Amino acid sequence: MSSSAAATNPAQEAVTQRPRTESGSPMEAEYFLHEAEGLGQGQHEAARLHRESQERFQHGEADESLLPKDQSYRSGPIRFVVLLFQSLVLMGLTYNYDMCSATRNVLVDTLGITDTGYGVISGLYAYPNVILPLFGGFLIDIIGVQRSMILFVLVNFSGTLIYAVGLQFRSFAVVIIGRAIFGMGGESLNVANSTIMTHWFRGKELAFALGSSLTLSRLGSVLVLNTQPLFIRNWGIVSGAYAGVFMAGISLLTAVLTCVIDRQANAHDKAMHVEGAEEDTKSGDRGVQISDVKSFGSMFWCLAFSCVVTYMSIFPFYQVVAPAYLQSEAHFGFDLKTTNAINSIPTMIGAILSPFMSIYIDRRGQRPKLMVWACALLLVTHTSLMLFPRCPECTSVSFFFVIMGLSICLYGAVIWACIPFTVPPRSVGAAFGLIFALQNCGQAIAPSILEFLHQESGDFIWPFGCLAVWAAMGLGISLYLKRIDRSTQTGLFLPCPEKLAEQLACSPMYYYDSPSTVAAPMSTIPAAAVIMPEGYMRRVQGYLSSPRSNMQFRRAYYSRLGLGHS
């Protein structure tokens, strides 16, 4: 296009009406997104929209024409009711998961078993879940999250009931069967929860939803530790087991209510012709297949490996290393009460801060950067505890447990919200299932490794060294993720799409400096957008280069940015 044509173009004319600062000078630091040739007839309409948006901006009004009107049922306040129900579902799961550890001594005496027998009961949950969540994830993608979640909750309820009956008749075999059945639905239910939270909060407050459901579910652990001694002292261990059945019943009820609401959301979105509406049917035309895992990109596998090694340096630390380390006469010599109090600090910090950190991530993004910080803090904690000198009953060691709590809070708020960014929407269930399966594999082998290192060395140098190595591996993967995310279109560093769209809608209309360049005021571009890779620039330019209706805006914005909506 010639320079003379450019001079008389309406888009060029619109540039002369740039918004002014209070001093009257033109707004500075224009941000050039990408060169685009042949902007076509959309220039005339774009110039008109630009002038209107400037008038709104000068009066402090948001440009509602740019704000996507999400007509989805899932965008209303009802999604927070779903969040509450799903948290109650997981609370019932964690209550019964920690039932054995809360009643260990009484359980052994009631059944007349040895510590080895108790190990069989507690291990029946972990080992099947090395592989079952993977199949649970595929089942979710094939038959739908509603049917799958009801199935998994029914399995958990049945296992809990059989476990209670086994205790009532003091039958070790029945208790074993009940615990095995309970474990068959446990981690698969976690996969279903993550999947349905993704359906309801993708593009909105996904990190907040996953973090909050995890936080509230931890109240189940607190509840079982405080109520089971009361039941046992007053009515016996059988009454405590039936209390677990009651909690499983609450999980079943809230799961059914969630599915009813989700079915209503499907019907509403289908009637409103909402793009990207989730149907509780087979995903796609052929359903998800195991071969689909081959299509998962390097970003997903990096996240999976990071999840495995990082959580190997967290949970086994609580289970194996920390209690013995804090009670060791060669180090601190704390009693059991003080040991439990110090060892619970990270969990309490994570439970309190996770929702707030999740809100920050939803609004600001920067997920890879926060993963780096989380793993770095974890590495500092393990290294410091390894080198901590002997200090009998020295409570200053709790400072490092505070740091670990911050690390867990950061990592947990980030990692689960990243998964839906890296796989196709119809494979989210399979992706979560695979992650949970790999994580449980790491959790199954890590305690044995740490126990072996402690027994062989007679000290805690080697166990802490192993934990530090795992944390360092997580840090290395996070640094790699941070680097490659800038060269891909995954968008892990971006805020959630709804928040970014709102920020764009409240800024002046993007305008053209010339027919071949799209520009916008630097001050109105979110910080995350300034560092968008070239691939994102092309996609953002694609929707900016011609005006669209509200629905077209939403479709183009989510699909072209590749952030999970179609």
Amino acid found at 22? E
205 and 94 part of one domain? yes
556 and 488 part of one domain? no
The whole-number pLDDT of residue 36 equals 34
Residue 136 sits at φ, ψ, to 5 deg, of -60, -40
Helix (H, G, I), strand (E, B) or coil at 446: helix
pTM above 0.95, yes or no: no
* Token pair listed for 79: 């999604």
* Token pair listed for 65: 């024409």
For the residues of 98-115, what is the DSSP string, one character each? THHHHTHHHHHHHHT--H
Distance CA 214, CA 208 (A): 10
The whole-number pLDDT of residue 28 equals 32
84 and 53 part of one domain? no
431 and 537 part of one domain? no
Helix (H, G, I), strand (E, B) or coil at 16: coil
217 and 136 part of one domain? yes
Residue 309 lies in a domain: yes
Residue 157 lies in a domain: yes
CATH number of 339's domain: 1.20.1250.20
Distance CA 318, CA 326 (A): 11
Residue 17 lies in a domain: no
475 and 417 part of one domain? yes
The whole-number pLDDT of residue 20 equals 40
The whole-number pLDDT of residue 135 equals 75
The whole-number pLDDT of residue 97 equals 84
146 and 53 part of one domain? no
Q: Which residues pair with 519 in a beta bridge?
A: 32, 511
38 and 176 part of one domain? no
* Token pair listed for 20: 């002014």
Residue 368 lies in a domain: yes
The whole-number pLDDT of residue 493 equals 58
Distance CA 517, CA 520 (A): 10
Helix (H) / strand (E) element for 146: namely helix 145-168
413 and 526 part of one domain? no
**The three-state (H, E, C) secondary structure of 294-349, written as one string:** HHCCHHHHHHHHHHHHHHHCCHHHHHHHHHHHHHCCCCCCCCHHHHHHHHCHHHHH
Query: For residue 545, what are the domain limits?
Result: 26-63+506-561
Closest by CA to 367, choosing from 543, 83, 84, 563, is: 563
Distance CA 566, CA 559 (A): 5
Residue 363 lies in a domain: yes
What radius of gyration do the chain's Cα atoms show? Answer: 27
The whole-number pLDDT of residue 277 equals 52
Distance CA 243, CA 352 (A): 26
Could you read off the pLDDT tens digit of each residue along the chain, which spans 566 residues?
444 444 444 433 433 344 443 333 333 333 333 333 333 444 444 455 555 545 554 454 444 444 444 467 777 788 888 888 988 998 898 889 878 877 777 888 888 887 667 767 877 777 777 777 777 767 776 778 888 889 999 999 999 999 999 999 999 999 999 988 998 888 788 878 878 887 787 766 776 777 777 777 777 877 887 788 888 888 888 999 999 999 999 999 999 999 999 888 888 777 776 655 544 444 433 444 556 677 777 788 888 899 999 988 988 887 778 877 887 877 788 876 677 778 778 877 877 787 787 777 767 667 788 888 999 999 999 999 888 877 777 778 889 889 988 898 888 878 877 887 777 766 776 777 788 778 878 877 887 788 788 878 888 889 899 999 999 999 999 888 887 766 655 556 555 544 444 444 444 333 333 333 333 333 333 333 333 434 334 434 443 434 344 444 444 444 434 433 33
With a CB cutoff of 8 Å and minimum separation 6, the contacts of 493 are: 365, 366, 367, 368, 369, 482, 485, 486, 528, 531
Question: Each residue of 70-80: pLDDT tens digit?
Answer: 467 777 788 88
The last residue of a domain, from among 448, 464, 495: 495
Distance CA 463, CA 264 (A): 51
Residue 518 lies in a domain: yes
Residue 442 lies in a domain: yes
Residue 62 sits at φ, ψ, to 5 deg, of -80, 150
245 and 394 part of one domain? no
Q: Which residues pair with 521 in a beta bridge?
A: 30
**Count of all residues that appear for the chain in the document:** 566
Long-range CB pairs of 119-127, under 8 A, 24+ apart, other chains included: 120/176, 121/175, 121/176, 121/179, 124/176, 124/179, 124/180, 124/183, 125/97, 125/179, 125/182, 125/183, 125/186, 126/183, 126/440, 126/443, 126/444, 127/444
Residue 501 lies in a domain: no
Tell me which residue has tokens 């708020």.
Answer: 413
The whole-number pLDDT of residue 178 equals 92
* Number of domains the chain is built from: 3
Closest by CA to 195, choosing from 403, 435, 360, is: 435
The last residue of a domain, from among 495, 520, 535: 495
The last residue of a domain, from among 214, 241, 274: 274
HSE toward the beta carbon, residue 310, CA cutoff 13 A? 30
463 and 339 part of one domain? yes
Closest by CA to 346, choosing from 407, 387, 395, is: 407
418 and 466 part of one domain? yes
The whole-number pLDDT of residue 245 equals 95
Whole-angstrom CA distances from 214 to 43, 209, 359 are: 48, 9, 14
**Per-residue b or e along 409-440, where b marks 16 or more CB atoms closer than 10 Å to that residue's CB:** bbbbbbbbbbbbbbbbbbbbbbbbbbbbbbbb
